[in-house]
Amino acid sequence: MSLTFLIILALTAAITFLVVMAAVSLVIHKNAVARRQRIQRRLTEEYAVALTEMLMTELPSLPATAPSSARFRQYESLLEPIKKQLQSLSRRRRRIHRTALLEVMLDYAQDLTGEAADRVVYAAYSLDYVQELIAELKSRQWYSRAQAARDLGVIGAKRAIGGLTAALEDDHPDVRFQAIQALIVLVGADALRTIFRVGGRLSTWNMMGLSVIVLRFKEDVVPHLIEGLYAADQSFVLFCIEMLAEIGFVSAVEPLRRIATDYPNVVVRAKAIEALGRLGDERAEPLLLKNASNPYPVMRLRALQALRKVGSPAALPVLEERLREGPLEEKIAAARAMARTGREGRTVLERMRKEEGTLAAAAAVQVLEELSIGGSA
Amino acid sequence: MTAVTVLQFLFDTYFVFVVLYFLIVNITYFILLWLSFREIVNYMHRNLFTDFRSVVQSEITPPVSILAPAYNEEQTIVESVKSLLKLAYGEYEVIVINDGSKDGTLARMIGQFDLFPSKRVYVEHIPTQAVRGIYRSRQIAYQNLIVVDKENGGKADALNVGINAAQFAHVLSIDADSILEDDALQKVMKPFLEDDTVVAAGGIVRIANGCEIVNGRVVHVGLSKKLLPIFQVVEYFRAFLSGRMGWQAVNGLLIISGAFGMFKRAAVIDVGGYRHDTVGEDMELVVRLHRTMRERRIPYRVVFVPDPVCWTEAPESVSILSRQRNRWHRGLLDVLWMHRTMLFNEKFGVIGSAAMPYFLFVELLGPVFEFFGYVTLAMLWWMGAVNVPMTILFFIVALFYGVMFSVGAVLLEEISFRRYPNPKHLALLLSVGVLENFGYRQLTMLWRIKAFWDYARGKKGWGSMQRTGFARPAAGTM
Amino acid sequence: MGQLILVAEDQQHIRNLIEYKLKNSGYDVVAVEDGAAALEKARELSPALIMLDIMMPLMTGFEVLASLKNDPHTKAIPVLLVTAQSKEHEVLRGLELGAEDYITKPFSPNELAARVKKVLLKHTAT
């Protein structure tokens, strides 16, 4: 009995000791982090001043025929004081300083364009930051890889394009997304071609983030999106369909029609149907009407929802059939589409409402009510 | 062999058992704490690369139906609803279910929001008590508000009515007095958008007592001046941060708080909605979801978002707190009993082999074992046969460890969300983490044991839960 | 000596940069961190030009602009708005409220100086 007891006591003491150590080291760690942050803040202020000088110092202008190396020599001379300062430090302190300097450079890189931005990019290369970050793209920690991808994009380091392209196939979704973002910043809309070819596995969440970036290019991105409709990775096809619908590029109607008919996956076909509706082009109407009786429920629903934006009185017979026969979701979608067709549609709804007790009538009533509020219909 | 020696032997043996039991419990806690720590660190890292703006602006953001059951909330309902209508999200509707309130809850809403009886379609996917009417607003500003009036049937029944009435694919169940953060919808929707096998997501519920609340939003985080809510703050840290986060890491999350939980509507209707014959309806639904998905071998996930998304009012008086804990324990007992075939059944994976046994032996029976541990100790002392080393060991594993884990939970909060940055608050929370094991914990233990007794006697209801509602003053008075 | 320019910008590194560039270009510069300080200094110093960031905490650039144009002491001072990412509606709103011109982030410091010069020339001519 007493031996087991001693063992238990020893185990307990050991675990307690470990837990106490963990708690204590956490507190110490927090304090160390806080102190480091204070130092970092002071350093960023100092380097902000130094970098401002580097960026803003007037340089003698060069003739138009001068090679870029002449320019770079000028920039290099501006970097002298910073380089000398960094070299004079011990290895450990240099690392802290370099982190602060990088933070400042990233801030400036984000907000500047023109010649000042060129200087920032040059400094990033000359101070070996680009090299370091490209190496970080292979770090074991996903957040280091993601951070490196982001920073390379912000700085504008074109040399990193190869490494970033490889990162498009990273295991971690956040790394892949940062790589996509960085490539778009570095190369512009043309990056999409590579992205669609190499990358993949975009979640809906990623699509939303990417759409914000891509939409900034407005019409310039459309040719890439149309090309992307043929991407091998399905998530990109969905993304391109979504983007074309949102941009409202009506010439996409043809390729979208083909996808709605021929693409092997029903989710993608349904998405194409939805997009056709959002594009609001009446040429899509026959296809939508046909799909309102598609055997797949998701196709029918999307077609009905799309008809809300594209439907004409010619659609009424099909819509009425769906209002009577379909499940509730389809009834409501059909009723809303009817309302949109104008007076004829509303007449049909009033007629349906009289068939009291049926679900179809209830749907008609709800939609008529929505119209009167001036709300969703 | 006298009767006394036999008795003493029994007590001794039981005492050893209790010590071993607590040792195992503490090892389990330690594992959970470790898993939670890693999950939270990962989450914080992911937050650095997350931009929620795209969710708010995008056209493909899935619309959400918020379900808010209300019973006798006439004082606060208008305020609550107004703040729900102002969340930072794209398209969503707020469905308030008036569960047969005896006061002017419905009348106040009709007046304030210019409601008229609506013919909106209602299909009874889940059977419920009778629905008396559906109301919408004439004003465009409130067009996303839908009020359903029904015969009283309890919270679960009201939620089922809400599910029936909702027309979007995702539903968010909340309490009418839950205070949501502005970006709560964005944060809890993200898991669904990243992985379409997610069927349910819960969020952290924080304690609002002592916080400054303006227009239904927490603008300044503080601690109550009363001690009781502060004990609960630490408890909630333990339960949410170091408990649920850990379980989520192994897809073994059994509870999503009724105060804040988002579900795929189709999945909930599929399993039959909430059960209205149990007080543990929020946990029961999640367990049933696990069960059904595993039985059908459908890949799925239940996730937990550690970001503070929801604040709630904690009981400030001992009597109300005891009734709440009594109800929670009866609910737990109910759920474990209803799904007892899942226990130790490998067909149910981690749920059957780890999560449910944990809830049974640690959460449910823990107070019982502990209680009889004290009883045994007293008996041995009275017999003059106290085994001093064992007793010391008992106090170490039973009490001292509790200190460690409460402190661990508070520290987890410190490294992540830091909603209590004031060092005085932190010190208070840490000391409470220590103190709670010398009195408060034993108190909850007694309440939970009484819950067994009440359950056996067939007590089924909620008891009266007095609520003060939203705009409580910053100094927690009641 | 040089004309006085008041710069309101909450981000320190941008503020430093703009201040440096303008000083190099021969102007006197007073830089403030937020909208309230901008209003105060505008009334006190009557600068020749005010450069106003739109995205500032507490008081946005629009609110400051509106206040400036409502106050007889300051309404004649030309305002140059700094906006993010060329948000068209922001630009239009700013011009409607009475801003003279705008520049978007990311910006080129040379271009900034050129804009300032243009606005000042136009304004002193009238």
Question: pLDDT tens, position by position, for chain B (478 residues)?
Answer: 687 788 888 888 888 888 888 888 888 888 998 899 899 899 999 989 988 877 777 778 899 999 999 999 888 899 889 989 988 898 999 999 999 999 999 999 999 999 999 988 898 999 999 999 999 999 888 989 999 999 999 999 999 999 999 999 999 999 877 889 888 999 999 999 999 899 999 988 888 888 888 878 888 888 888 889 999 998 888 888 888 888 988 989 999 988 899 999 999 999 999 998 888 899 999 999 999 999 999 999 999 998 878 998 888 999 999 999 999 999 999 999 999 999 999 889 899 999 999 999 999 999 999 898 888 888 888 888 777 777 777 877 777 777 778 888 887 887 777 777 677 787 788 888 878 888 898 899 999 999 998 988 877 666 544 443 333 322 222 2
Whose tokens are 């958008």? That residue is: B193
Query: What CA–CA distance (Å, rounded) separates A46 from A96?
Result: 13
Dmax over Cα atoms in chain B, in whole Å? Answer: 85
Mutate to test the interface with B, among A139, A142, A205, A212 (most CBs of B within 10 A): A205
Asked if residue B112 is part of any domain, the answer here is no
Mutate to test the interface with A, among B50, B113, B121, B412 (most CBs of A within 10 A): B121
Query: Which structure tokens are listed for B195?
Result: 């992985």
Across the interface, do A112 and C16 touch by the CB < 8 Å criterion? no
Give whole-number Cα distances, C111 to A176, B447, C18, C19, C25, in Å.
35, 72, 11, 14, 12
Dihedral (Cα; B272, B277, B279, B284), 10-degree rounding: -30
Across the interface, do B54 and A212 touch by the CB < 8 Å criterion? yes
Per CB-CB distance under 8 Å, the chain B contacts of A357 are: none
As a whole number, mean pLDDT of residues C1-17 equals: 85
Query: What CA–CA distance (Å, rounded) separates B338 from B340?
Result: 6
User: In a 10 Å sphere around its CB, with 0-12 CB exposed, 13-18 middle and 19+ buried, how is residue B82 labelled?
Assistant: middle
Query: What CA–CA distance (Å, rounded) separates A83 from A86?
Result: 5
The 8-class DSSP code of residue B315 comes to P
Of A143, A203, A209, the CB nearest to B195: A203
Asked if residue C95 is part of any domain, the answer here is yes
- What is the reported pLDDT for A16? 67
**Reduced to 3 states, what is the DSSP secondary structure of residue A112?**
strand
**Quick check: bond before C106 cis, omega within 30?**
yes
- Provide the domain count of chain C: 1
Query: What CA–CA distance (Å, rounded) separates B5 from B435?
Result: 37
Query: What CA–CA distance (Å, rounded) separates A330 from B295?
Result: 30
Asked if residue B105 is part of any domain, the answer here is no
Q: Is the ipTM of this complex over 0.85?
A: no
Contact assessment for residue A336 and residue A321, using Cβ atoms and an 8 Å cutoff: no
Kindly list the residues of chain A whose beta carbon comes within 8 Å of any beta carbon in chain C.
45, 48-49, 52-53, 55-56, 58, 104, 107-108, 110-117, 216
Query: What CA–CA distance (Å, rounded) separates A291 from A293?
Result: 5
Per CB-CB distance under 8 Å, the chain B contacts of A177 are: 49
Q: φ, ψ for residue B131 (rounded to 5)?
A: -95, 125
Asked if residue C125 is part of any domain, the answer here is no
Kindly list the residues of chain C whose beta carbon comes within 8 Å of any beta carbon in chain A.
11-14, 16-17, 20-21, 24, 85, 105-111
Going edge to edge, which strands form the sheet with B260-264?
Answer: B115-117, B131-137, B145-150, B92-99, B64-70, B170-174, B260-264, B198-207, B301-312, B179-180
Q: Which residues touch C4 (CB under 8 Å, ≥6 apart)?
A: C27, C28, C29, C30, C45, C46, C47, C48
Per CB-CB distance under 8 Å, the chain A contacts of B400 are: 16
Q: How many CB atoms lie within 10 A of CB B344?
A: 13
The long-range contacts involving A260-263, CB below 8 angstroms and separated by at least 24 positions, are: A260/A287, A260/A291, A261/A287, A263/A237
Query: What CA–CA distance (Å, rounded) separates B310 from B276?
Result: 24
Note down the domain range covering B395.
Answer: 1-62+169-459
Find residue B95's DSSP bridge partners.
B67, B146
Query: Which structure tokens are listed for B78?
Result: 């208008």
Query: Which structure tokens are listed for B423?
Result: 């060092």
Asked if residue B303 is part of any domain, the answer here is yes
Asked if residue B403 is part of any domain, the answer here is yes
Q: Which residues touch A119 (CB under 8 Å, ≥6 apart)?
A: A54, A55, A75, A78
Nearest to A196 by CA among A159, A169, A158, A156: A169
Query: Which structure tokens are listed for B25?
Result: 């419990």
Q: How many CB atoms lie within 10 A of CB A125?
A: 16
**Reduced to 3 states, what is the DSSP secondary structure of residue A320?**
helix
Nearest to B301 by CA among B350, B260, B257: B350
User: Model-level pTM greater than 0.90?
Assistant: no
**Distance from the A175 Cα atom to the nearest Cα atom in chain C, whole angstroms:** 24
Q: Could you tell me whether strands B92-99 and B212-214 are parallel, antiparallel, or unpaired per DSSP bridges?
A: unpaired
Size of interface A-B (CB pairs under 8 A): 106
pLDDT in tens, chain A (377 residues): 577 667 767 766 776 676 667 667 767 777 787 888 888 889 988 898 888 888 888 888 888 888 888 888 888 988 998 899 888 989 988 998 999 999 999 999 988 888 888 999 999 999 999 999 999 999 999 999 999 999 999 999 999 999 999 999 999 999 999 999 999 999 988 999 999 888 888 888 988 888 888 888 877 888 889 889 888 888 999 999 988 888 887 788 888 988 988 899 888 998 898 888 888 877 888 888 888 888 888 888 888 888 888 878 888 888 888 888 888 889 999 999 898 888 888 898 888 888 888 888 889 999 988 888 765 43
Dmax over Cα atoms in chain C, in whole Å? Answer: 37
Q: Which residues touch B425 (CB under 8 Å, ≥6 apart)?
A: B222, B223
Which H or E element spans position C53? Answer: strand C49-53
Q: φ, ψ for residue C82 (rounded to 5)?
A: -110, 115
Query: What CA–CA distance (Å, rounded) separates B406 from B235?
Result: 7
Q: Which residues touch C70 (CB under 8 Å, ≥6 apart)?
A: none
Per CB-CB distance under 8 Å, the chain A contacts of C105 are: 111
> In sequence order, what DSSP letters do the residues of B392-409 get, joined into one string?
HHHHIIIIIHHHHHHHHH
The long-range contacts involving B442-449, CB below 8 angstroms and separated by at least 24 positions, are: B442/B374, B444/B325, B444/B367, B445/B367, B445/B370, B445/B371, B446/B367, B446/B371, B447/B322, B447/B325, B447/B326, B447/B329, B448/B325, B448/B326, B448/B329, B448/B367, B449/B367, B449/B368, B449/B371
Query: What CA–CA distance (Å, rounded) separates B100 from A115?
Result: 70
Tell whether B125 is within 8 A of chain A (Cβ): no
**Distance from the C16 Cα atom to the nearest Cα atom in chain A, whole angstroms:** 7
Q: What is the pLDDT of residues C57-109, one digit of tens each?
A: 778 888 888 888 888 888 888 999 888 765 677 778 888 888 888 888 888 88
Q: Residue A248: left if φ>0, alpha if ψ -120 to 50, beta else—which one?
A: left
Which H or E element spans position B275? Answer: none
Is C17 a residue whose pLDDT tops 70? yes
- CATH code at C57? 3.40.50.2300
Asked if residue B207 is part of any domain, the answer here is yes
Nearest CA in chain A to B20: A8
Dmax over Cα atoms in chain A, in whole Å? Answer: 94
Find residue B301's DSSP bridge partners.
B198
Note down the domain range covering C113.
Answer: 4-120
Of A178, A246, A374, the CB nearest to B49: A178
Tell whether B43 is within 8 A of chain A (Cβ): no
Q: Which residues touch B444 (CB under 8 Å, ≥6 apart)?
A: B325, B367
- Provide the domain count of chain B: 1
**Distance from the A43 Cα atom to the nearest Cα atom in chain C, whole angstroms:** 13
